[in-house]
Amino acid sequence: MNSFKAVFKRELKSYFTTPLAYVFLVIFLFFAGYLTFKQGFFEMRQADLRPFFQNLPLLFVFMVPSTAMRLWAEERKSGTIELLCTLPVTITQAVLGKFLAAWLFLTIALALTFPLVITVCYLGNPDIGLIITGYIGSVLMAGGFLAIGCFFSALSKNQVIAFVLSVVACAILVFAGMPTTLDYLSTFLPRGLVNAVESMSFQTHFDSIQRGVLELRDLSYFVLLIVGWITACGIILDERKAG
């Protein structure tokens, strides 16, 4: 437990001792606000945060891999992984410590979008339940993207490669669920396969949580996704840490 906490604390601190956290937060918050108001927030004449949540997957495709890419790639490149893995820390503790620290950081970033909530509350009477489930879905989605980013960061020593690979993987998972993609796929794929593609996508599950329905299958989708990619990350690290 000691070592898990130590890794977690160090990782979280390291975001804020480098300019990384501030650059990330400023850019994230700018685009979160910009995309929301650009896409008809006022024209809709409805006090809810739908435009904000709808744009989040697209924003996350770029922003989350940029926080995840350094997690292991940097550690392997600078050789500190040899230090970390010869301290009394298990791979599981190290992987979880780093992952949860990065997840907490992303949660903080999401929490800092609170002025949007205040805005809609000021403008009308939004459905608070809907906003809460929207945020829960966003946090889960951030975790899913992050787990994917963690995996690719462990796979490559090069941060740029890790970034590009995880952006592609995340983008595939998001766009697989877009109506246009599904329409196109249904022209030549059997129905069952199209449904399978749809239920593998982030978009589908995020949408249904965002509509205010917290269903077990959506929750278990994200939990499975996170656990799966994180486990794969641990296995890869154990294999490749010395290389």
Contact range with another protein by CB under 8 A, out of 35-43, 76-84, 187-195, 226-234: 76-84
Q: Please pick, from the candidates 22, 23, 30, 82, the single residue that binds another protein as defined by CB under 8 A.
A: 82
Q: Please provide residue 103's backbone torsions phi and psi, each rounded to the nearest 5 degrees.
A: -65, -45
88 or 115: whose CB is closer to another protein? 88
Amino acid at 78: S
Sign of CA dihedral 62, 215, 96, 233: negative
Measured between alpha carbons, how far apart are the two ends of the chain, in Å?
A: 28
- Nearest Cα residue to 132 out of 108, 114, 109: 114
Residue 235 binds to another protein (criterion: CB under 8 A)? no
Q: Please pick, from the candidates 34, 37, 40, 78, the single residue that binds another protein as defined by CB under 8 A.
A: 78
Residue 180 binds to another protein (criterion: CB under 8 A)? no
88 or 192: whose CB is closer to another protein? 88
CB of 20 to another protein, least distance (A): 9
Q: How many CB atoms lie within 10 A of CB 206?
A: 26
Q: Cβ distance 8 to 100 under 8 Å?
A: yes
Q: H or E segment at 73? A: helix 70-78
CB of 130 to another protein, least distance (A): 40
Residue with tokens 């889960």: 140
Site map (CB under 8 A) of another protein, residues 6-25, x = contact: xx-xx--xx--xx-------
The contact set with another protein (CB under 8 A) reads: 2-3, 5-7, 9-10, 13-14, 17-18, 78-83, 85-90, 241-242
